């Protein structure tokens, strides 16, 4: 029996499949192809002069902070320092768009953002000094611990923002990640959860061109990192990451959107890591001077200063005051870091569980005895 | 195998409760559900999240009815991504909630290991006590249910090797309730391993008068005996009780210690028993090489060496990837293998 001979074959009409349509219109989610800019476009007229001067002062302070921290590694006062030199506009804007009740989720390269948010620089640098891991109470400052495993802080930001919304609190979480971090699975999972839950969270990707030595071209084939947002059903925004007012504006809009229940946004800030990955890295092995020089011309401090002085919003005295304030901050930081760290070996055991286990109590006792014997040996 | 828990569970007294609240047969799955339900009713900070935990009530129905009673914001079907589930739970705990996460199966929990190891286990430590992380990760584990590949792993050794986590596993209906309540009440992260082949084990149990919620970290002697100690936990507890019963025919009175908590480890109860009996066999499904038995044997040797009449033996799963279901009976430590080990405890040397 052939198919044609099957009973009813002649009268068979296929049932149409159930209607399908896209769940979200992708068009409004797409980022503009060009990074958003304020400086050099005239758009700076729309900004309050106080904000612009604040951005400038913080950039100058941030640049000095990066230089000082790098110098401290050379003096052996910090174990390692991943510099954000060249990325100060992202760091400063990220901190300044937050309300006091909001939360910041930084990576290890984002100590400056924590400092601009108000954290004591010595506390921000605890991890990198090495006297403990997190040198501050995250809840007191609403700054999550500096996160070293890439992108793993992103789901934390989503969960915290989700919890705040469940409790009815007006809290937005801002999570920082680098271009390399966008390749991690946790980046994907965090953005997906955020969009499904419509969590009040903003993701800022600081695309500084390199994941240690690996350039973005080897990291992704996406049109831009901001385009990745569309796949999750959230808007993507592309911004010049060295243009502080532009980053401030784009992040501010994303924060406002999250705050009014509009859900998450992915912001890609295009910037450049002027220094090597850390003091232990040699950037000459993977990039040329010409490229670095081009980005130095587009330096966040320089381009803001040029625009503000050109428009009469900043004068020599203002520039000098910012520099002096930055110098004073650096001096205080040097003083703090040159003092020997206070180490409490007992905390190794007391802060593992609420109550140390019997085994940890025994090990703590062992270490105490060893330390006592050391002291006795020294004094003998 | 799952019917063998009667000795372990015994009966709870129902004299003080109303007739409609009297003890009645309940499964371990029901006791676990009840523990979450009661914790959620008592504390609005307790949230359950995972794959299929809401509308479906979980693939083992352990969260049955929670979404209906407390709403989907309290018992949430998440996207299918274990790192995302645990990672967002970390953020929720940072904000003051007490998340109870369900990992659908042992082997499906592996994508969440980075969150567990790099964040969950050390948040208290890295913040020097400023930010403890009260969070429970429930993991159905172990074999014996005829599961196909990736559904039967004994993953406890991975968790035990991570400082900062508590690792507990019930073997009885009562402990399922009591330990899960204790885990949810704990201010530390707890990996709560649920022996899936005991999910349907039953006991006469009154959820309104549950046994006292004991602090995590105490083992319990399930059966007393003077000949040797079987040290075990979770799915192997009924096996050991059955073996102990069978051993009476050989003239051996075996003591059975149910660890209940792998971390913290109850050296006191274990060593007190081994000092009494002078002989010990550790029994678990997990692989022998690098498994919990090695650590337990070392601890016993270090602390009870002069009381030992024989080397501490291990009866464990073979050092192989978990077998396909039609072969798993060869892998799982059963009564005969336990008795064989007991027979090897140098009994002649005593005589």
pLDDT, one tens digit per residue, over A337-367 is 999 999 999 999 999 999 999 999 999 999 9
In a domain, B211, yes or no: no
Cβ-based neighbour number of residue A70 at 10 Å: 18
Of all residues in chain A, what percent carry a pLDDT higher than 70? Answer: 98
Q: How confident is the model at residue B2, as a pLDDT?
A: 36
Domain harbouring B245, CATH code: 3.40.50.920
Of B182, B205, B228, the residue that ends a domain is B205
Cβ distance of A155 and B115 shorter than 8 Å: yes
B192 and B309 inside one domain: no
Distance CA A318, CA A323 (A): 9
In chain A, the residue whose alpha carbon lies closest to the alpha carbon of B89 is A159
For residues A161 and A199, is the Cβ–Cβ distance under 8 A?
yes
Catalytic residue among B151, B166, B284, B331: B151
Distance CA B333, CA B315 (A): 6
In a domain, B9, yes or no: no
For residues A43 and A94, is the Cβ–Cβ distance under 8 A?
no
Q: In what order do the strands lie in the sheet with B313-317?
A: B220-223, B254-258, B228-232, B280-287, B313-317
Distance CA B194, CA B164 (A): 20
116-175 in A: which are within 8 Å (CB) of B?
A: 132-134, 136-140, 144-145, 149, 152, 154-164, 166-167, 173
Distance from CA of A144 to the nearest CA of B (A): 9
What digits encode the pLDDT tens for the residues A173-197?
Answer: 999 999 999 999 999 999 999 999 9
What digits encode the pLDDT tens for the residues A6-29?
Answer: 777 778 888 888 888 888 899 999
Domain harbouring B27, CATH code: 3.40.50.970
For residues A258 and A238, is the Cβ–Cβ distance under 8 A?
no
Q: A375: which 2 tokens?
A: 């002291």
Cβ distance of A161 and B91 shorter than 8 Å: yes
Cβ distance of B124 and A351 shorter than 8 Å: yes
In a domain, B251, yes or no: yes
Of all residues in chain B, what percent carry a pLDDT higher than 70? Answer: 92
pLDDT of B17 over the 60 cut: no
In a domain, B10, yes or no: no
B161 and B228 inside one domain: no
Q: How confident is the model at residue B341, as a pLDDT?
A: 98
For β-strands A214-215 and B46-50, DSSP reports them as unpaired
Whether A314 contacts chain B with CB within 8 A? no
In a domain, B89, yes or no: yes
- Give the mean pLDDT of chain A: 95
B193 and B240 inside one domain: no
B196 and B289 inside one domain: no
ipTM: 0.95
Give the Å distances, CA to CA, from B164 to A34, A111, A357, B187, B263.
47, 26, 10, 11, 9
Region for residue B65 given its phi and psi (left: phi exceeds 0; alpha: psi -120 to 50; beta: otherwise): left
Of B205, B236, B260, the residue that ends a domain is B205
In a domain, B14, yes or no: no
B153 and B256 inside one domain: no
Cβ distance of A155 and B88 shorter than 8 Å: yes
Nearest to B79 among A159, A192, A352 (CB): A192
Distance CA A139, CA A148 (A): 19
Cβ distance of B83 and A161 shorter than 8 Å: no
Min mean pLDDT across B61-70, B152-161, B208-217, B229-238 is at: B208-217
Domain of B97 in residue numbering reads as: 21-205
What digits encode the pLDDT tens for the residues B118-137?
Answer: 999 999 999 999 999 999 99
B259 and B181 inside one domain: no
Whether A189 contacts chain B with CB within 8 A? yes
What digits encode the pLDDT tens for the residues A98-118?
Answer: 999 999 999 999 999 999 999
B85 and B167 inside one domain: yes
pTM of model > 0.90? yes
Distance from CA of A129 to the nearest CA of B (A): 14
In a domain, B215, yes or no: no
Total domains in chain B come to: 2
Of B205, B237, B266, the residue that ends a domain is B205
Q: How confident is the model at residue B351, as a pLDDT?
A: 43
In a domain, B4, yes or no: no
B27 and B153 inside one domain: yes
CA-based nearest residue to A38, from A227, A203, A239, A235: A239
Q: How confident is the model at residue B15, as a pLDDT?
A: 38
B184 and B236 inside one domain: no
Whether A185 contacts chain B with CB within 8 A? yes
- Give the mean pLDDT of chain B: 92
Helices (H) and strands (E) in chain A, counts: 15, 7
Cβ distance of A158 and B130 shorter than 8 Å: no
B181 and B71 inside one domain: yes
pLDDT of B5 over the 90 cut: no
Catalytic residue among A286, A332, A334, A336: A286
> CA B283: distance to chain centroid?
14
Query: Residue B281 burial (CB < 10 Å; 0-12/13-18/19+)?
Result: buried
Q: B80: which 2 tokens?
A: 């299918």
Going by C-beta distance under 8 Å and a sequence separation of 6 or more, which residues neighbour residue A206?
A87, A90, A109, A176, A177, A178, A179, A241, A269, A271
B188 and B47 inside one domain: yes
pLDDT of B230 over the 70 cut: yes
Cβ distance of A152 and B92 shorter than 8 Å: no
B121 and B174 inside one domain: yes
Going by C-beta distance under 8 Å and a sequence separation of 6 or more, which residues neighbour residue B242?
B4, B335
Q: CA torsion B151→B157→B162→B165, rounded to 10°?
A: 70
Distance CA B65, CA A260 (A): 32
Query: Residue B1 burial (CB < 10 Å; 0-12/13-18/19+)?
Result: middle
């Amino acid at each position: 029996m052939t198919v044609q001979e099957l009973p009813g074959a002649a009268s068979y009409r296929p049932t149409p499949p159930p209607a399908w349509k896209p769940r979200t219109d992708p068009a409004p989610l797409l980022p503009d192809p060009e990074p958003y800019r304020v400086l050099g476009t005239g758009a700076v007229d729309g900004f309050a002069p106080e904000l612009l001067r604040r951005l400038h002062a913080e950039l100058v302070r941030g640049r000095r902070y990066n230089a000082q921290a790098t110098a401290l590694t050379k003096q052996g006062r910090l174990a390692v320092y991943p510099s954000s030199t060249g990325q100060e506009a992202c760091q400063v804007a990220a901190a300044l768009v937050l309300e006091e009740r909001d939360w910041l989720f930084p990576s290890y390269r984002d100590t400056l953002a924590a400092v601009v948010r108000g954290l004591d620089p010595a506390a921000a640098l605890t991890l990198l000094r090495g006297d403990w891991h997190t040198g501050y109470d995250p809840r007191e400052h609403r700054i999550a611990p500096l996160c070293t495993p890439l992108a793993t802080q992103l789901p934390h930001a989503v969960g915290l923002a989700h919890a705040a919304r469940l409790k009815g609190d007006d809290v937005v979480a801002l999570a920082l990640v680098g271009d390399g971090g966008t390749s991690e699975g946790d980046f994907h999972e965090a953005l997906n959860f955020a969009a499904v839950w419509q969590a009040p969270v903003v993701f800022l990707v600081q695309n500084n061109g390199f994941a240690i030595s690996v350039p973005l071209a080897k990291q992704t084939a996406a049109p831009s990192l901001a385009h990745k947002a569309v796949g999750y059903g959230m808007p993507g925004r592309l911004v010049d990451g060295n243009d502080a007012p532009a980053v401030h504006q784009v992040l501010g809009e994303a924060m406002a959107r999250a705050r009014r229940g509009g859900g998450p946004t992915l912001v890609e800030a295009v910037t450049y890591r002027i220094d090597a990955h850390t003091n232990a890295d040699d950037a000459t092995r993977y990039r040329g001077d010409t490229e670095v020089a081009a980005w130095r011309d587009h330096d966040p401090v320089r381009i803001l200063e040029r625009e503000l002085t050109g428009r009469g919003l900043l004068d020599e005295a203002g520039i000098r005051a910012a520099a002096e304030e930055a110098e004073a901050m650096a001096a205080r930081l040097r003083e703090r870091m040159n003092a020997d760290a206070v180490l409490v070996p007992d905390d190794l055991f007391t802060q593992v569980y609420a109550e140390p286990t019997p085994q940890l109590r025994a090990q703590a006792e062992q270490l105490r005895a060893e330390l006592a014997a050391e002291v006795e040996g020294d004094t003998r | 195998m799952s019917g063998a828990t009667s000795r372990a569970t015994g009966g709870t007294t129902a004299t003080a409760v109303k007739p409609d609240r009297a003890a009645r047969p309940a499964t371990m799955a029901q006791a676990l559900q009840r523990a979450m339900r009661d914790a959620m009713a008592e504390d609005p900070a307790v949230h359950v999240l995972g794959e299929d935990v809401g509308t479906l009530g979980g693939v083992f129905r352990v969260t049955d009815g929670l979404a209906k009673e407390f709403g989907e914001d309290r018992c949430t079907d998440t996207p299918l991504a274990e790192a995302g589930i645990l990672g967002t739970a970390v953020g929720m705990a940072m904000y003051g909630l007490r998340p109870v996460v369900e990992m659908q199966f042992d082997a499906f929990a592996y994508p969440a290991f980075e969150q567990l190891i790099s964040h969950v286990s050390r948040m208290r430590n890295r913040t020097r006590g400023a930010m403890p992380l009260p969070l429970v990760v429930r993991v159905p584990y172990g074999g014996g249910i005829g599961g196909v590949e990736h559904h039967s792993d004994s993953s406890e050794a991975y968790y035990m090797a991570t400082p900062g986590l508590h690792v507990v596993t019930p073997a009885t209906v009562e402990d399922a309730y009591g330990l899960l309540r204790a885990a949810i009440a704990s201010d530390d992260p707890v990996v709560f391993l649920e022996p899936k082949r005991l999910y349907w084990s039953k006991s006469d149990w009154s959820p309104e008068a549950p046994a006292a919620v004991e602090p995590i970290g105490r083992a319990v002697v399930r059966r007393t005996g003077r000949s040797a100690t079987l040290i075990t936990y979770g799915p192997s507890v009924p096996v050991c009780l059955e073996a102990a019963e069978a051993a009476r025919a050989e003239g051996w009175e075996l003591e059975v210690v149910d660890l209940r908590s792998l971390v913290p480890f109850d050296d006191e109860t274990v060593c007190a028993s081994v000092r009494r009996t002078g002989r010990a066999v550790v029994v678990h499904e997990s692989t022998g090489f690098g498994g919990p038995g090695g650590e337990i044997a070392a601890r016993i040797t270090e602390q009870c060496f002069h009381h030992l009449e024989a080397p501490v033996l291990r009866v464990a799963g073979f050092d192989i990837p978990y077998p396909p279901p039609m072969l798993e009976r060869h892998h799982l430590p059963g009564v005969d293998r336990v008795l064989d080990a007991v027979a090897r405890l140098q009994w002649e040397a005593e005589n």
